[in-house]
Chains A and B, each alone.
Chain A
Amino acid sequence: MPRTEQQSNDRFNGKWFWRYASPAAFYPVAGTIEKLCWFLAISLTIIGLYIGFFRAPTDATQGEVYRVIYIHVPAAWMAMVIYLAMAFWCAIGLAFGTRLSFMMSHALAPTGAIMAAISLWTGALWGRPTWGTYWVWDARLTSTLILFFLYVGYIALAAAFDDKKKGDRASALIALVGAVNVPIIYFSVQWWNTLHQGASVRPGGSSMATIMLTAMMIMAFAFWAYCIAVAMNRLRTQIIERERSAAWIQSSVRK
């Protein structure tokens, strides 16, 4: 039986969060989240780096250089998490046709690409003194590089369309194709070669000293907060750019 408009309105009213699928309703919320996350990102970074640089002991085998871990590992985590988040919003956007979801994934993509680049770059700086080389074709390095390519492909595809709506859906589809392939690529690259030190942090046990782990976790939360803050900032810019002709922008944002 086809739903009447009244019924579908009831359905949406029943769940309060549907309201925030509207760019106009989410715009101020995004602003609040952004401010909160900037505060968290800055204060957690100060605390995390202080513990990591001045309180945590020097590593027994790697010396001082291991401290790059406080940037490297959170960036690598974020690169993976953001791709998942991006693919999630792309799926939501394709399923429900909510334009805010597409804007959200566009807002996340550059940050994800930067996180992948940071983790590769700091990894190279870490690899030079410990492995004796900037780059090795190890499974995790290689998969991060491929993840970076997937981000670049998504961003380039979204930019290649004059019709923004078409670009939204096209790039969402490619993000989903990438998300399906990421585990396969990861597995095949691992099959191909592996040399990276085993993961230092895994559920149920960790090979790191508690204070190092504490600093790294604080830095991980700082990176989360930073990524959310910049994504919200970019989202707000996108909303203004795309909805610039809407009345609520004319009246509220201009002020």
Chain B
Amino acid sequence: MSLRIAAQAVFRREITLFARRKSDWANPLMFFLIVTSIFPFAVGSESERLRLIGIGVLFVGALLAAMLALPRLFDEDAKDGSLEHLLTSPEPLAVLILARVAAISLALALPLALATPAFALFYALPSEVAGILALTVVLAVPTLILIGAIASALLVAARGGAILTAVLVLPLTIPTLIFGAGAALKVLSGESPAAELALQVAYFLFALALCPLAAAAALRISTD
């Protein structure tokens, strides 16, 4: 029972922080808006061409925006000492990390996913494609945060964290990128996205099962 209370407390603390410091989720959203809106300047404004690159730009843009939040996972807490409290808790660390990842995923994935259909208008994408893109972003952002939890837990004790996070995390997000964008491409060409969606969910569940454990081990290593 006390495990549930501890996990809830961690979750509530993160949500409260997001509610009080709106820049934590508003900045990634602004980043997403700006990144997706500068691409047309580079490729031209014809709708045909934009439709071709739109899915990729939106999906990668959302992933990069979520990447911005990764330092927030453990860095600040390591600086102000609250990470020590998490580590000395008698409850299993993996569960507490999972609660924190859940809160951050919720606070990031929802705004990004809600913004995706709106930004899809820039790229002349049909509404059903915009809808499926929002759904795949909802799945991809938590996957990225789960994988990112391992990297940012390791980087708490390292130099030059921000660039390294990208180097470590982005290659591992390729499966979710392939399946997520693939589902949207299927809808764009009028086919069923079921297979891609199923695989994207599978990769998410795989990350959900293993990443909290690995992140807990990583945090123990770097705060040793």
Binding site for B on A (CB under 8 A): 146, 149-150, 152-153, 156-157, 160-163, 166-167, 169-170, 173-174, 176-178, 180-181, 184-185, 188-189, 191-192
Contact = CB atoms under 8 A, between A and B. Distances in A.
Given A170-B154, A170-B218, A184 B206 contact: yes
A162 B159 CA distance: 8
Interface residues of B, number: 31
Interface in B195-224: 199, 203, 206, 210, 214, 217-218, 221-222, 224
A188 B224 CA distance: 36
Contacts of A185: 171-172, 174-175
A166 B222 contact: yes
B43 interface: no
B151 A152 contact: no
Contacts of B174: 146, 185, 188-189
Given A157-B154, A161-B158, A188 B221 contact: no
B214 A177 contact: yes
A170 B157 CA distance: 10
B197 to A, nearest CB: 13
Given A157-B164, A166-B224, A185-B175, A173 B157 contact: no
A169 B168 contact: no
Residue among B151, B164, B175 facing the most chain A CB atoms (10 A cut-off): B175
Given A152-B167, A160-B155, A170-B221, A177 B182 contact: no
Contact of A157 (B168, B178, B210): B168
A174 B154 contact: yes
Given A146-B171, A157-B168, A185-B172, 14 more contacts: A146-B174, A156-B164, A160-B158, A160-B159, A160-B161, A161-B159, A162-B159, A163-B157, A170-B154, A177-B150, A178-B172, A188-B175, A189-B178, A192-B178
B172 A181 contact: yes
Contacts of B178: 188-189, 191-192
